[in-house]
């Protein structure tokens, strides 16, 4: 009976992680619209202010839950909290410092290394087992990501290196952001695996405060309107739900399956953007789609989830 309950919790957490991927993907077009009106950092501050307020309301409305969160391991709250905050700051600064749309696209490509890094680091941090097909699976998935994200744009090794020389800060920040999120996703499982509660409700308000302070030192368009308020509200609530589901899936679900599925994030976001912005997708999207899905499946099959460790964590969580 106990084993069935643990399996059910793990399955629900895994499904929640997959839903978080879809949710994030479908909000990309709205996030782009908001960033164009407010600037990337101001848009992020607006979104995280909403999600932070939702988190605070949750904490104030449930004192028992708050106590459980405060009893989480200190290394999880501090370590994962800093990685969470660091990721948000680095990715939005990387986008904000990009000098043109070409650099924004290239910075985005670097950021999409996080699914690969999450899967690879799960072998190192969570002691998952991998075989040789992880390499071709990863290369196929990254090729698919490249085709899906660029879609005919003039991206080449020469343009990438040339833009890097002109603006290295954005590229290093995007790469560091990808590493930070991959580490965050794995360390959640290592430090708080099996726990009923996560620290996202603390991470979100802190992130919003830091972003608001950062806005004071940046000059951005900030063209507020009824549309920007609605988009901020929608994205803030979606952000809260997405991160809560992701945190739970990393603590209690199948990390390998969710990490491999996250390769599909750029595909879902591109399709959603085409629908939202009324853009007709080209053949390159569907070719990239096929390669991406094939690479994701190979990557997933190449890594074995450490079920022994996951089971012991789930058993321990019943005592908390």
pTM, two decimal places:
0.85
Tens of pLDDT, residues 211-264: 999 888 888 888 999 999 999 999 999 999 999 999 999 998 888 889 888 888
Tens of pLDDT, residues 167-179: 888 888 888 999 9
Mention every residue, 6+ apart, whose C-beta is less than 8 A from residue 209. Answer: 52
Q: What is the model's pLDDT at position 155?
A: 66
Q: What is the model's pLDDT at position 319?
A: 39
- What parts of the chain have a pLDDT lower than 70? 1-9, 101-102, 151-157, 160, 273, 276-281, 285, 306-320
d(CA 250, CA 29): 26
Q: What is the model's pLDDT at position 266?
A: 76
Q: What is the model's pLDDT at position 315?
A: 43
Q: What is the model's pLDDT at position 142?
A: 85
Q: What is the model's pLDDT at position 311?
A: 45
CA 231 to chain centre: 19
Q: What is the model's pLDDT at position 279?
A: 62
∠100-181-256 over CA atoms, to 5°? 125
d(CA 191, CA 181): 15
d(CA 34, CA 228): 6
Q: What is the model's pLDDT at position 276?
A: 65
Residue 112 near residue 264, CB atoms below 8 Å:
no
């Amino acid at each position: 009976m106990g084993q069935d309950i643990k399996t059910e919790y793990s399955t629900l957490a895994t499904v929640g992680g997959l839903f978080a991927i879809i949710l994030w993907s479908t909000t990309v077009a709205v996030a782009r619209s908001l960033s164009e009106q407010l600037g990337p950092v101001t848009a992020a501050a607006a979104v995280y202010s909403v999600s932070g307020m939702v988190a605070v309301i949750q904490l104030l409305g449930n004192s028992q839950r708050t106590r459980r969160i405060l009893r989480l391991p200190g290394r999880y709250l501090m370590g994962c909290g800093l990685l969470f905050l660091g990721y948000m700051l680095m990715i939005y600064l990387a986008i904000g410092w990009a000098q043109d749309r070409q650099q924004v696209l290239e910075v985005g490509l670097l950021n999409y290394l996080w699914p690969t890094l999450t899967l690879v680091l799960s072998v190192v941090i969570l002691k998952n087992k991998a075989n040789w097909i992880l390499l071709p699976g990863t290369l196929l998935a990254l090729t698919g990501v490249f085709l899906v994200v660029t879609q005919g744009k003039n991206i080449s090794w020469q343009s990438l290196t040339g833009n890097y020389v002109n603006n290295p800060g954005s590229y290093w920040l995007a790469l560091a952001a990808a590493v930070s999120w991959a580490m965050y996703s794995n360390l959640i499982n290592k430090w708080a695996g099996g726990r009923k509660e996560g620290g996202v409700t603390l991470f979100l308000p802190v992130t919003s405060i830091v972003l608001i302070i950062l806005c004071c030192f940046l000059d951005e368009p900030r063209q507020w309107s009824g549309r920007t308020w609605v988009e901020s509200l929608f994205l803030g609530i979606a952000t809260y739900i997405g991160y809560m589901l992701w945190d739970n899936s990393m603590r209690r679900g199948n990390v390998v399956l969710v990490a491999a599925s996250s390769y599909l994030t750029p595909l879902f976001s591109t399709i959603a953007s085409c629908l939202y912005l009324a853009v007709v997708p080209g053949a390159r999207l569907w070719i990239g789609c096929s390669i991406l899905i094939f690479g994701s499946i190979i990557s997933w099959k190449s890594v074995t989830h450490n079920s022994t460790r996951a089971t012991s964590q789930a058993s321990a969580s019943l005592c908390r």
